[in-house]
Amino acid sequence: MMSLASYLIISLILFVVGLMVMISRKNIVAILLGIELILNAAALNFVAYSRYVTNNLDGHIFSLFIIVIAAAEAAVGLAIVIRFFQIKETIHVDEATQLRN
Amino acid sequence: MFLEFLFISSAVLTVSCALGVLVVKNIMHSCVFLLGSLMGVAGLYATLGADFVAVTQIMVYVGGVVILMLFAVMLTGGTDFISRAQNLLGLAPSMGNKWTYGMGLFVGVVFLLTNIKLLMGLTQTLPTKTINNEFPSTVTEIGHLLVKDHVLAFEISSVLLLGALVGAAIIARPRKQN
Amino acid sequence: MNQTVVSYLSKYEFYDYLLALFGNNQGVLAFTIYFLLALIIIGMCATIGGLGTYAERKISADLQARLGPNRVGPYGLLQMLADGVKMMTKEDIMPFTADKALFYLAPLLCLVGVFATLAVLPFAGGFIMADLNVGIFYLVAISSFVGLGVFLGGYASNSKWSMLGGMRGASQIISYEIPVTISILAIVLLAGGMGFGTIVGQQGGLPHQWFLFHNPFAFIAFFVYGVGALAETNRAPFDLPEAESELVSGYHTEYTGMRFGFFALAEYIEVFVVCGVAASLFLGGYNVPGITIDILPVQAAQFVIFMTKTLILYYVVIWIRWTLPRLRVDQLMSVCWKYLTPIAIFNLIGCAIWMVVFNGKSIAELVLGSH
Amino acid sequence: MIPAEFDGLMPVVIFMGLAVLLFFGGHFLSVALAPKKPSHLKSTPYECGELPVGSAWSMFNVRFYVVGLIFIIFDVESVLMFPVASIFRELNDMGQGGYALIIFLSFISVLIEGIAYCWRKGDLDWVKSFQHSLKKETK
């Protein structure tokens, strides 16, 4: 029941769903949601390997830093989204066609 | 017994809420589904004995990232955006014809089956390690790792966060409308 | 490691009899014990929450030279039952513009966030439901559900008052979480562990053994924690999210009946939890002065001492509410970011330096020269 | 002795489950006991007797986001400080207190730089943040 494989399958599903969210949604905030799912899939893998394969806690440290970086990424990404909305009055990703206004 | 229960419920929560993020049109509801998915991942960490990482997940995501996302959704017009087609069916015509969809489905199924086959075989090939249900305290161990082995990453992460703070504050700061 | 009620009880002989009664199935027995104790704790906290509303009115009446509730039961003591019955029999109204799913979800998030904190609250030695070794960190993390519930409640109502209250509430709760967390960090640094068992065990029963008087920085940290905790639980003078003179009733303007009751219950239990945390972090927790033996009567005394400290703090919270005027919203933010957070960081640095310079000894130990 | 798997996590889950149970139980009671006489006027959002104009989901100021942003950075930094703080006493007893203090202080000093920057740039002011940046740009 609880084995390395089951954790990896859950992580795989999370990754694929995150990727599909990133591809199929046109709202930039939703794309950021997809990125969060993908980062979580990676962090879950690290912890699962740390318990079932290695004997140390390096995997925990890795997923700790993944969470830290995900938070920083969300902060900066959402700031960009807000700025984009102030300029373009929309957050449709297809409207983001210029590098500067 | 209890761990199995926790594992199954967390896994169901994680996967179903992730699917919810995908299919729900309303972006506000998507954020709440993301919250459920992240809580499920925290539960999975708990079943792996990673108590500190689980609580960190709750603290950073529930207390921080999800609230920030909700704020950003409110700032960018709330749910006014849902009039546009956002779900897969609404977007389907613009993404390709039946051949591309057929190819995509085929590749997806092959990818999924291959991965599941590989992962299923993984348990036999790995060195069998006796897994006991004793969860020793991870906090002191993580603390020692942070100040000894990973001290550089620990210090640099603070600089990274400072950079993120300054950069995001500059980008998001209200300025003169022109 | 994680000591819990069950692992504590398993030291006694009657645990074996119980185990035989349950057919040697430890999982079912542990579940039963936890479930019954959780029911008892929740019932107790709900009563304290209900009595809190009563005490609030009675104390405010005292402070304003009025009588307060005195019709229902002796001294108006049954007022809380009357309130509860009233809430249950009120019609449930939802604005037709509301986001229905989130409107249901918001009180649930508040309730889950507050109840989950009760699992680590140290009522007495051995009577901590789960002495997790991430105890206080877990408590800080899980109580951030409340901010989310407040925001979603304000958002889902789709009323302007609610929206303003919800936004104010969410930004206030998350802002004040920073000084509170950093003050707690100073105590974690002094105690050398995050579990409540460790933190309380490092202190003693007498005032000079408390972390409050451990060093000057911890003394200041207590007040930073107190102010921040008041703001985090939306109590006056920081009750801007529900300021009735500005926003009709804030984020729960549109909530009626039982759902409003859940918000109120969550708020009052959260005040209790915050007071309990302050008592166990700074005021010595459940320690009985001079006695360290581990027998049941001592534990009853420990429980009484913990509840006394907590309820005294509860009284102070109500007292503050009816004494101080409410802050303005810009003052609220500048109090948090320009005063409390720098002071909290200063305290943290001070505690770290104190630890190294004086080798972790408290003022009393330095002055009296014990051990 | 009892196995560790019954320790720790179970009360947390039980308390969460009880909160959900209480929520739905209260709802059930309320549905059973409360009167049900809906009318359109009753279910309009309360705006002091006036009919509401427009949706409430449009008014939002960017300063809420800036506060959330500063919060999340500090939150993450405090998360990283927790494990180091909890072994500080242990390191001090092992005679490595100075080393731990240097690491800890250099981490906090970056945190202080962050708050000093935000203070200087007026992000911590609630009302003035817009006027402040206007003044800067016109200078």
Mutate: best of D2, D14, D76, partner B, most B CBs <10 A: D76
The whole-angstrom separation of Cα A62 and Cα A39 is 12
What would the mean pLDDT of D85-111 be, rounded to a whole number? Answer: 86
Hey, how many other C-beta atoms are within 10 angstroms of the C-beta on C72?
15
Strand partners of residue C3 = C131
User: Which residue's entry shows tokens 């970056």?
Assistant: D110
Contacts of C205 (CB under 8 A, 6+ apart): C284, C287, C288, C289, C290, C291, C305
Rounded distance between C-alpha atoms, residue C330 and residue B89, angstroms: 46
What are the domain boundaries of chain C? 91-368
Secondary structure (3-state) at C197: helix
As a residue count, chain B comes to 178
Average pLDDT over residues A67-96: 83
Question: Nearest CB to A83: which of B56, B153, B172?
Answer: B172
Please give the residue that has the higher pLDDT: either C83 or A66: A66
pLDDT of residue C351: 87
Entry pTM: 0.87
| B123 chain-A contacts, CB cut-off 8 A | 3-5
Q: Which residues of C touch D1 (CB under 8 A)?
A: 7, 10
Find the range with the poorest average confidence among C172-186, C330-344, D57-71, D87-101.
D57-71
For chain D, give the percent of residues with pLDDT over 70.
74
In a domain, D111, yes or no: yes
Interface test with D, best of A78, A86, A89 (most D CBs within 10 A): A78
Give the pLDDT of residue B12. 92
List of E strands, chain C: 3-4, 130-131
Residue of C nearest to B135 (CA): C1
Select from D62, D73, D80 the Cβ nearest to the Cβ of A75.
D73
Q: Which of C93, C188, C261 sits opposite D82 (nearest CB)?
A: C188
Eight-state DSSP code of residue C127: -
Which residue of A2, A63, A68, A73 to mutate against D (max D Cβ within 10 Å)? A68
Chain center to CA of B24: 17
Please report the sign of the dihedral spanned by the C-alpha atoms of residue D14, residue D16, residue D17, residue D22: positive
Q: Is the pLDDT of residue B82 over 50?
A: no
- Only one residue has tokens 């959900």, namely D20
Q: How many angstroms away from the CA of D12 is the closest CA of chain B?
A: 11
In angstroms, rounded to a whole number, what is the distance separating the alpha carbons of residues B14 and B39? 7
Nearest CA to CA, how far is D82 from chain A (Å)?
Answer: 12
Average pLDDT over residues C105-115: 89
pLDDT of residue A52: 81
3-state class percentages of chain D: helix first, strand second, coil last, to nearest 5: 65, 0, 35
A100 lies in a domain?
no
For residue C4, give the 3-state DSSP assignment. strand
Q: Does A74 reside within a domain?
A: yes
**Which residue in D69, D100, D130 is closest to B147 by CB distance?**
D100
Indicate if D80 and D20 belong to the same structural domain.
Answer: no
Distances (CA, A) of A22 to A16, A35, D54: 10, 7, 32
Contacts of residue D17, Cβ cutoff 8 Å, sequence gap at least 6: none
Please state, in angstroms and rounded to a whole number, the distance separating the CA atoms of residues C209 and C109: 38
- Give the pLDDT score at C254: 75
Mean residue pLDDT across chain D: 77
Overall number of domains in chain D: 2
**Where do the structural domains in chain B lie, given as residue ranges?**
2-95, 136-178
Set of chain D residues whose Cβ sits within 8 Å of the Cβ of C162: 45, 56
Cross-chain Cβ contact B29/C151 below 8 Å: no
How far is residue D7 CA from its own chain's centroid? 29
DSSP code string of C304-317: HHHHHHHHHHHHHH
**What is the number of domains present in chain A?**
1
CATH number assigned to the domain comprising residue A31: 1.10.287.3510
Q: Does C307 score more than 80 pLDDT?
A: yes
Domain limits for position D13? 4-33
The pLDDT value recorded for residue A41 is: 92
Confidence of residue A39 (pLDDT cuts 50, 70, 90): very high
pLDDT digits (tens, 9 = 90+) for C160-182: 788 888 888 888 888 888 999 99
Residue C123 reports pLDDT greater than 80: yes
Considering the domain boundaries, does residue A46 fall inside one? Answer: yes
Report pLDDT for C241: 66
Across the interface, do D76 and A79 touch by the CB < 8 Å criterion? no
Q: How far is D76 from chain B (nearest CA, A)?
A: 6
Mean local confidence (pLDDT), C10-32: 73
Higher pLDDT, D49 or B90: D49
- The pLDDT tens digits for B12-68 are 999 999 888 888 777 888 888 999 999 999 989 888 888 888 889 999 988 888 988
Q: In this predicted structure, what is the pLDDT of residue B16?
A: 92
Backbone angles phi, psi at C95, to 5 degrees: -60, 140
Mean per-residue pLDDT for C262-282?
87
Using a CB–CB cutoff of 8 Å, tell me whether B119 touches chain A.
Answer: yes
The reply to whether residue A79 touches residue D69, judged by beta carbons under 8 angstroms, is: yes
For chains A and C, having 3+ Cβ pairs within 8 Å is answered no
| Residue A68 CB contacts under 8 Å (≥ 6 apart), including other chains | B60, B157, B160, B161, D76, D79, D80
pLDDT (0 to 100) of residue C1: 46
**Between these two residues, C170 and D123, which has the higher pLDDT value?**
C170
**Reported ipTM:** 0.88
C vs D contact (3+ beta-carbon pairs below 8 A): yes
Which region among A85-94, C121-130, C240-249 has the lowest average model confidence (pLDDT)? C240-249
Determine the length of chain D: 139
Question: Of the given ranges (C220-224, C283-287, D17-21), which has the lowest mean pLDDT?
Answer: C283-287
**Chain B within 8 Å of D70 (Cβ-Cβ)?**
yes
CA dihedral D97, D98, D103, D107 (to 10 degrees): 100
pLDDT value, residue B87: 54
pLDDT at C98 over 80: no
D78 lies in the same domain as D126 = yes
pLDDT of residue C262: 85
The position carrying tokens 């020793």 is B136
What is the CATH number that goes with domain B2-95? 1.20.120.1200
* Mutation to test the A interface, candidates B2, B13, B14, B105, most A Cβ within 10 Å: B14
Inter-chain residue contact B74 with D57, CB threshold 8 Å: yes
Q: Where in the sequence is the domain holding A36, given as residue range(s)?
A: 4-95
pLDDT in tens, B119-178: 776 666 555 555 555 666 778 888 888 888 888 888 888 889 899 988 888 887 766 554
Angle at C217 between CA C215 and CA C220, to 5 degrees: 115
Burial class (CB in 10 A: 0-12, 13-18, 19+), C329: middle
C262 vs D33: CB contact, 8 Å cut-off?
A: no
Residue by residue, DSSP assigns chain A as --SHHHHHHHHHHHHHHHHHHHHH--BHHHHHHHHHHHHHHHHHHHHHHHHHT-SSSHHHHHHHHHHHHHHHHHHHHHHHHHHHHHHHS--BGGG---S--
State whether D28 and D68 are in the same domain: no
Task: Tell me whether residue D53 is in a domain.
Answer: no
How many CA atoms lie less than 13 Å away from C242 in the CB half-sphere? Answer: 21
**Pairing outcome for strands C130-131 and C3-4:** antiparallel
Q: Do C145 and B62 touch (CB under 8 A)?
A: yes
pLDDT tens per residue across span D3-59? 444 556 788 888 888 888 888 888 888 888 877 777 777 777 776 666 666 666 665
Query: Is residue D121, in this structure, part of any structural domain at all?
Result: yes
Bridge-partner residues for A92, per DSSP? A27
CB of D97 closer than 8 Å to CB of C356 = yes
Q: How confident is the model at residue C371 (pLDDT cuts 50, 70, 90)?
A: low
Place of tokens 């005292």: C62
Local confidence band at C118 (pLDDT 50, 70, 90 cut-offs):
confident
> Is there a single domain that holds both residue D29 and residue D69?
no
